[in-house]
Amino acid sequence: MTDLSNSKELLKSLVERIEKLTEEKQAIADDIKDVYAEAKSSGFDTPALRALIKRRAEDAAKREEREAILESYMNALGMLSDTPLGQAALRAVG
Amino acid sequence: MTDLSNSKELLKSLVERIEKLTEEKQAIADDIKDVYAEAKSSGFDTPALRALIKRRAEDAAKREEREAILESYMNALGMLSDTPLGQAALRAVG
Amino acid sequence: MTDLSNSKELLKSLVERIEKLTEEKQAIADDIKDVYAEAKSSGFDTPALRALIKRRAEDAAKREEREAILESYMNALGMLSDTPLGQAALRAVG
Amino acid sequence: MTDLSNSKELLKSLVERIEKLTEEKQAIADDIKDVYAEAKSSGFDTPALRALIKRRAEDAAKREEREAILESYMNALGMLSDTPLGQAALRAVG
DNA sequence: TTAAGCGATAGTTTCC
DNA sequence: GGAAACTATCGCTTAA
């Protein structure tokens, strides 16, 4: 087996994986579209629904950011969140 | 069960489905990124690889249409006249 | 005149120059946008126009290199064998 | 003069304008780079300088946003900012 | 010098 | 259909 044919096989594999993943991604995007269509036909206002989803995502991101900051503080204090002591500290400042 | 609570339940269900699907979609997008990174570290040229994938994705009809448009523009600017092949093409369509 | 005030004046000058240049750069970017909008409203296909500009911008050497890479990938995947021209090319390089 | 040749001339004109503007834009980008290089060789910390410029830009944007909001209020009251009365109102709430 | 993070730009999708 | 928002890609900058 030469390097060249190895490269060729590798390229083929990469392309196939990307195309397969892209297909799956598109299928999911279509599913999402369908859910919005269903919502609309149930009388929900699509833009409002999108705004709601967006807001929830932002809130989640913010919460994660806060938790990351808190964890960095805890790390600075040598308290890992997976120890009982760290968990106690977390409750104390929570 | 009132209409109101039905609506509430339905909304909750819709939101959850959309959020779940969005999460899955993002996970796949990350996977695709990973494959491109792997390709790059294997020595492949990422932009060329993207161009290849794109070309394969475009169905034949669309691709021909795009190329026809581009060629007509190039023709208008005399770009084809720079190459022997282009000159032949110009004679062919002249 | 102290060194400190020299530094201060110099910094002020640098900042002003950068801000002025940035402003000019943004103005030109807006102009480019306008030209594309004009092209579109004149019936030109914007993506094709962008592709044309890009192709002209790439110097010949670089373009040939990119096309060679893409072609080698396509060759590896057997894409050329789909077209008569591709088959001729394959025979030519075979 | 046919439509076709008109189109051709128009395309040529559009392409030339875009290319000229792009060239100017790139020249300015190079100038900016030069100023940063000059700053660095004068002993300034480039990332800090960038941060400063960025902050000034953000402040300016915020100020403009505030002014836009204020103006919308004034418009709602029928007070245009280019009238003496409007200017007086602006001072009053400033 | 190169890899990774970031900022800017181009393209796609959505809403009106 | 046109404008606007969002996503994804590309090039630059910085740090190792």
Contact yes or no for A12 and C73 at CB 8 A: no
pLDDT at position C92 is: 53
Quickly state the pLDDT bin for B94 (edges 50, 70, 90): very low
Quote the CA–CA distance of C76 and B24 in Å, as a whole number: 32
Q: Token digits for C36?
A: 């594309």
Of the partner residues C45, C66, C70, the one whose CB lies closest to the CB of residue B69: C45
- CA C26 to chain CA centroid, nearest Å: 17
Q: Token digits for C72?
A: 């080698």
For residue C33, pLDDT over 80 is answered with yes
Q: Which amino acid residue lies closest to nucleotide E3, measuring CA to C1'?
A: B41
Q: Which of C69, C70, C73 is the best residue to mutate to test the A interface, defined by the most A CB atoms within 10 Å of its own CB?
A: C73
Specify the DSSP class assigned to residue D1: -
Quote the CA–CA distance of B70 and C48 in Å, as a whole number: 6
Q: At B78, which helix (H) or strand (E)?
A: none
pLDDT at position B84 is: 61
Q: Token digits for D48?
A: 């800090």
Quote the CA–CA distance of B35 and C77 in Å, as a whole number: 18
Q: Exposed e or buried b for every residue in D63-78, given b needs 16+ CB within 10 A?
A: eeeeeeeeeeebeeee
Is residue C80 helix, strand or coil? Answer: helix
Average pLDDT over residues B10-28: 96
Residue ranges with strand state E in C1-94: none
Q: Please report, for residues B73, B80, D7, D8, D10, the alpha-carbon distance to residue D2 in angstroms, rounded to integers and kept in the order given.
A: 17, 22, 9, 10, 12
Under an 8 Å CB criterion, which residues of D touch C? 10-11, 14-15, 17-19, 21-22, 24-25, 28-29, 31-32, 35-36, 38-39, 42-44, 49, 52-53, 56-57
pLDDT at position B87 is: 63
Instruction: Give the number of C-D residue pairs with CB atoms closer than 8 Å.
Output: 67
The vertex-C45 CA angle with C42 and C50, nearest 5°, equals 115
Q: Token digits for C74?
A: 């396509």
Tokens 């910390």 belong to D45
Q: With contacts defined as CB-CB under 8 Å, which chain C residues touch B74? A: 52, 55
Nearest to B37, CA basis, from B49, B26, B27, B19: B49
Whether the beta carbon of A78 falls within 7 A of nucleic chain E: the reply is no
Q: Please report, for residues A40, A63, B9, C74, the alpha-carbon distance to residue A35 in angstroms, rounded to integers and kept in the order given.
A: 9, 27, 15, 38
Of the partner residues B49, B69, B70, the one whose CB lies closest to the CB of residue C73: B49
Rg (chain C; Cα; Å)? 25
pTM: 0.78
Q: Please report, for residues A71, A72, A90, B12, the alpha-carbon distance to residue A75 in angstroms, rounded to integers and kept in the order given.
A: 6, 5, 12, 37
The alpha-carbon gap from D29 to the nearest alpha carbon of chain B, in Å, equals: 24
Specify the DSSP class assigned to residue A43: T
Q: What is the pLDDT of residues A37-85, one digit of tens each?
A: 999 999 999 999 999 999 999 999 888 888 888 887 777 766 556 677 7
User: How many CB atoms neighbour CB A57 within 10 A?
Assistant: 13
User: Would you say D86 and D79 are in contact if contact means Cβ atoms under 8 Å apart?
Assistant: yes
Residue in chain C closest to B76 (alpha carbons) equals C52
Whether the beta carbon of B22 falls within 7 A of nucleic chain F: the reply is no
Q: Please report, for residues D58, D62, D69, the alpha-carbon distance to residue D65 in angstroms, rounded to integers and kept in the order given.
A: 10, 5, 6
pLDDT at position B9 is: 93
Q: What is the pLDDT of residues D5-53, one digit of tens each?
A: 788 899 999 999 999 999 999 999 999 999 999 999 999 999 999 999 9
User: How many CB atoms neighbour CB B76 within 10 A?
Assistant: 19
Average pLDDT over residues D71-85: 70
Q: Token digits for D71?
A: 């103006």
For residue C94, pLDDT over 50 is answered with no
| Higher pLDDT among residues C22 and A79, named by residue | C22
Q: What is the pLDDT of residues B21-73, one digit of tens each?
A: 999 999 999 999 999 999 999 989 999 999 999 988 887 778 888 888 999 99
Whether the beta carbon of D22 falls within 7 A of nucleic chain F: the reply is no
Nearest to B77, CA basis, from C34, C71, D18: D18
